Amino acid sequence: MSVPYSAGLENVIASETGISYLDVDNEEIVLRGYDLLELAKRRTYLDVVGLLLDGALPTPPQRTAIEEKLKSEYGFPQEVLTMLQMLPINANRMDILRTGISAIASYDLELEDRSHGANYRKAIRLLAKVPQIVANGFRVNARLPLVEPRGDLSYTGNFLYMITGLEPTETEEKIFDQSLVVYSEHEMPNSTFAARVIASTQSDMYGALTGAVASLKGTLHGGANEAVMQMLLEAGSADGVEALMLGKLQRKERIMGFGHRVYMKKADPRALLMKEALAEIAEVRNRAELYEMCVIGEELMRREKGLYPNLDYYAAPVYYLLGIPIELFTPVFLAARTIGVCAHVIEQHENNRLFRPRVLYRGPRNLHPDN
């Protein structure tokens, strides 16, 4: 075979899609024709949900209808909570999420229906229930009291409320919503690819999302946001950040939150938006030093390695100041990305070609077992 080989499928086109595209040259993340950053500044997460599911930005009444549909699906199977309680206490939060999503599949009566309507309804159910697994999965597992969803709060407000147990202020909700928008969809990252590969066998949406959770857990992908915050806490101060990062670079360790397969030598536009959000929430919380530490780290990496921050670098301290426990940062990323993954599964099911690549065989040949 003389087909070109690219390790890690770097720069390989894996799918045709009408969902999103990273236009790196023009520094634009295109979401069904719109610029993701413009959506984050001028619209809400539920608008993006409508855009990705229906193909067009919803009007205000349509957005309300989407929110009503989501709230009507807040009910959660008690049996699944019991299952999550049976996992070893303090299990990894992404493992709890993976198990929870896998388990709720069997309670969806339309699980095996791949029609557009059924897939759409499953996406709505997942969007309603995944935040609850994020917020209550660890509580039930740690034998803590659960926080019930509140229908009087917005979808986003309720999600943050269920995580922290506190009703968010307008500013907190706005910043959290912006983070959900920037995390919502990003073309063909490893997790979305994993989901599309699974969906391409005509497997179901829950299974595809479960695979995406496993992919997102890794620190080269979504797991980086938790690692960033651990690093910032370990550094403790502006001087500490310099010393810690320089030490890591000398030991040839990777610094989480920097670099990106697609934006390697350019800034991730989403990181810049979260940097602005960090400045805002740091001022509200009187934590300007955290913002300064991050900026020092950003400048150091540009100077020393020519590397730029990715979204996880600035989303991590934003989540920290919003009062989200560090071990929920990656689960929150997955909850935000659920809409993107579901849109890709729907697209894959509707225009399917089984993924089945080949290999460059480097092993031995012509061996024979002894008789």
Ligand X SMILES: O=C([O-])CC(=O)C(=O)O
Contact code string over 184-223 relative to ligand ACO, x by CB under 6 A = -----------------------------------xxxx-
Q: Applying CB under 6 A, does 217 fall inside the site for ligand X?
A: no
Cβ closest to ligand ACO, residue 296 vs residue 311: 311
Q: Which of 186, 221, 260, 349 is catalytic?
A: 260
**Please, are residues 219 and 310 in contact by the beta-carbon 8 Å criterion?**
no
Task: Give the strands of the sheet with 34-35, arranged side by side.
Answer: 20-23, 28-31, 34-35
Could you tell me if 206 and 101 are in contact, meaning their C-beta atoms sit under 8 angstroms apart? yes
Q: How far is the CB of 190 from ligand ACO (least distance, A)?
A: 8
Q: How far apart are CA 122 and CA 357, in angstroms?
A: 29
Residue closest to ligand X, measured at CB: 189
186 is known as an active-site residue: no
What torsion, rounded to 10 degrees, do the Cα atoms 334, 24, 347, 31 define? Answer: 80
Among 132, 310, 330, 348, binds ligand ACO (CB under 6 A): 310
What are the beta bridge partners of residue 165? none
- Residue at token pair 């959900």: 180
Inter-residue contact 300 to 242 (CB < 8 Å) = yes
Asked if 261 touches ligand X (CB under 6 A), the answer is: yes
- For residues 367 and 364, what is the distance between their CA atoms, to the nearest angstrom? 7
- How many residues of this chain interact with ligand ACO, rule: CB under 6 A? 19
Instruction: Return the structure tokens found at 163.
Output: 């995580």
- Closest by CA to 258, choosing from 368, 266, 250, is 266
Q: Measured from the CB atom, is 114 or 260 closer to ligand ACO?
A: 260
Task: Please identify, among the stretches 20-28, 41-49, 256-264, 351-359, the one whose residues bind ligand ACO according to the rule CB under 6 A.
Answer: 256-264
Active site residue 260: yes
Question: How many CB atoms neighbour CB 201 within 10 A?
Answer: 14
Say whether residue 285 binds ligand X (CB under 6 A).
Answer: no
Closest residue to ligand ACO: CB criterion: 259
Based on CB atoms, which residue is closest to ligand ACO, 9 or 111?
9
Among residue numbers 1 through 40, which ones bind ligand ACO (CB under 6 A)? 8
Q: How far is the CB of 334 from ligand X (least distance, A)?
A: 10
Owner of token pair 């300007």: 288
Residues that bind ligand ACO (CB under 6 A): 8, 219-222, 224, 254-261, 305, 307, 310-312
Which of the residues are catalytic? Answer: 260, 312
